[in-house]
Amino acid sequence: MCKNKQQIILLFTTALIFLGFNSSACTNYLITKGASADGSVMISYNADSHVLYGELYHWPAGVWPKGTMMDVYEWDTGKYLGKIEQAHQTYNVIGNMNENQVSIGETTYGGKAELQHQPTATVDYGSLIYLGLQRAKSARDAIKIMTGLVARYGYYSEGESFSIADKNEAWILEMIGKGKFEKGAVWVARRIPDGYVSGHANQARITTFPLADGKTSITSKNIDKIYDPSVSTVYADDIISFARNHGWYKGKNKDFSFSDTYAPVDFEGARFCEIRVWTMFNDVKSGMDKYWDYAKGSIEHGKKLANGDKNVNGYATNRMPLWVKPDKKVTLQDMMHFMRNHLEGTELDMSKDVGAGPFHCPYRWRPLTWKVNGTEYLNERATATQQTGFTFVAQSRNWLPDAIGGIIWWGVDDASGTVYMPMYSSITKVPDNFKVGNGSMMKWSETSGFWIFNQVENFAYSAWDRIHPDIVKVQTKLENQFIEDIPAVDAGAKVLYAKNPKAAVEYLTTYSNSMASKTFKTWKNLYHFLFMKYMDGNIKTKRPLPKGYKYVTPTLKQPGYGEDWYKLIIDKTGDRFKEPQK
């Protein structure tokens, strides 16, 4: 039996990890089993913050005496919020996935300012994620638990979208607190129809939803019915009345939109947030170009809603759908690819304009918006971004025992340069190179995976179109090898599991840790190689030692800048660098 003191220390330590963590730049994609190539359920998450140190969290399973209390700290600031009652039983959690194959991700959308940061609340969004994972047996269970916690203890954070998945289903739960008005939150959860995909990226996306009929749609008053497989929508019983009472909604109940009422989309909500959902939808579904103007920030407010009713609340009328049916099945590699998007193939591709520099880097240093002569301008906010702390694709597979079926493909730093490593969700030990406490945002560690990945990727930013392709070669080789190995690892674990489940978990723990160690060593060597090859703006290639030579220098290329950049220099400087005619 675990000790309560140990739980308090663990939560406090993890809270400190997120000191100053602003999650308002994250991306989630959700793939149902009917939409995936292998029948698994997948969700993905880029946890983006300039001060988030990427570590792989672990909560071991435990059994707790009745009446045990635990301390809760706000994940964004480390602020102590209060005590809540501990569950009798908690499950093993690795990162954002538990031993029951339940996974949870999030993106912050903010919403109405007066509803943010409920002053007397004890539970914030970060606590909800990891408390939900420690206590839930299924996605539906997690929704009941998370909404029950905020009803009992209040909701401290801003408006939040959660991705919640298990081995059979994927759900979106959107929530916003009641501010100083009342304790708790208003929320709505919708199951993604099987065969469809969805996403969210810091903009609330649930608009209208089926009103309670007691069968497919229920309210929180009947929350125990959530386990009925036919239920696909659940919402707070006062979700509409709360808005009416404060003058935020008028009209028919059937026209009520959660997002348009509590977090209306505006130019930035589309351009910085919805555009990241659009890129994934556009990859899997034809015809998404009709939403391109919306994704760029052109919001329409028509006089009528889609059903013909008057648009009395001024809702946006050209929004993207909450989910789409892909033209083809989505693979695990596709999900990794989605997380690495830089708006390639669009007019907003950041590698194509002058801000990309001579080496076509698809990144811009923050702030996100900036001014010149009093006029405000913006940088694009693509899915892949330099300030990612950690990123994952959680994969739940219902044809395997839970101890084997759950894999969180996990990596640190910028998704475009990371390696998604297979961490089975039942493992009982975190890899040393990625464990909590091995370095921090202001403490260097030579054995830290976060720091070696940042070394490689930050070096790549200096000459992107030369260095990044070398990174992709090694990244692809590792990820493909991991994916190819998984069937054999599963098979070995199944044989062990049939005789001794504990032995199977030990086997998977050893495997996951060894793959993390292999990745760290590979990336350490990669950094050494890249630095030698591209040092000082040169490109050097090792040559074989000719017979009779003691040593040989490498081949040397000095490609300088591309012609487009030299032309730009001339445009800006005229004849300043022109050589005299001979």
The predicted-structure confidence for 329-342, as pLDDT tens digits, reads as follows 999 999 999 999 99
SS3 for 37-78, per residue? CCCCEEEEEEEECCCCCCCECEECCEECCCCCEEEEECCCCC
pLDDT tens by residue, 394-405: 999 999 999 999
> Measured between alpha carbons, how far is 249 from 230 in angstroms, rounded to an integer?
29
What pLDDT, on the 0 to 100 scale, is given for residue 220?
98
Whether residue 34 has pLDDT greater than 70: yes
- Whether 6 has a pLDDT exceeding 80, the answer reads no
DSSP state of 443: B
Residue 172 has pLDDT above 70, yes or no: yes
Domain ranges of the chain: 4-378
Q: Which pLDDT does position 24 carry in this prediction?
A: 58
- Asked if 69 and 83 count as a contact pair (C-beta separation under 8 A), the reply is yes
Question: Pairing state of beta strands 233-235 and 217-219?
Answer: parallel
Distance CA 116, CA 118 (A): 6
Cis link prior to 326 (omega < 30° from 0)? no
Region 477-493 average pLDDT? 98
Q: How far is CA 343 from CA 282, 385, 395, 471, in A?
A: 11, 11, 25, 20
| Phi, psi at 328, each rounded to 5° | -145, 165
Q: Report the alpha-carbon angle 93-99-101, nearest 5.
A: 110
pLDDT averaged over every residue in the chain: 94
The pLDDT confidence band at residue 8, using thresholds 50, 70 and 90, is very low
Residue 75 pLDDT: 85
Count CB atoms within 10 A of the CB of residue 65: 9
Q: Give yes or no for residue 23 having a pLDDT over 70.
A: no
pLDDT at 50 over 50: yes
Query: Minimal CA–CA distance to 240: which of 254, 227, 223?
Result: 254
Model pTM score: 0.95
The mean pLDDT of 533-557, rounded to a whole number, is: 95
CB atoms within 10 A of CB 409: 25
Cα angle, residue 222 at apex, residues 216 and 224 outer, rounded to 5° = 90
User: Could you tell me where the beta strands, DSSP code E, fall in 438-567?
Assistant: 539-541, 555-557
Over pLDDT 90: what percentage of the chain? 94
Task: Examine the pLDDT at 581 and tell me if it is beyond 90.
Answer: no
Is the CB of residue 60 less than 8 Å from the CB of residue 430?
no
Dist. CA 321–CA 197, nearest whole Å: 11
- Determine the 3-state secondary structure of 335 from DSSP: helix
Q: Is the pLDDT of residue 489 over 80?
A: yes
Q: What is the pLDDT of residue 78?
A: 84
Query: Per-residue pLDDT averaged across 89-107, rounded?
Result: 98
**Helices in 291-352 by DSSP H: which ranges?**
292-295, 332-338
pLDDT at 412: 98
**101 Cβ neighbours under 8 A, 6+ residues apart:** 166, 167, 396, 397, 398, 402, 405, 406, 425
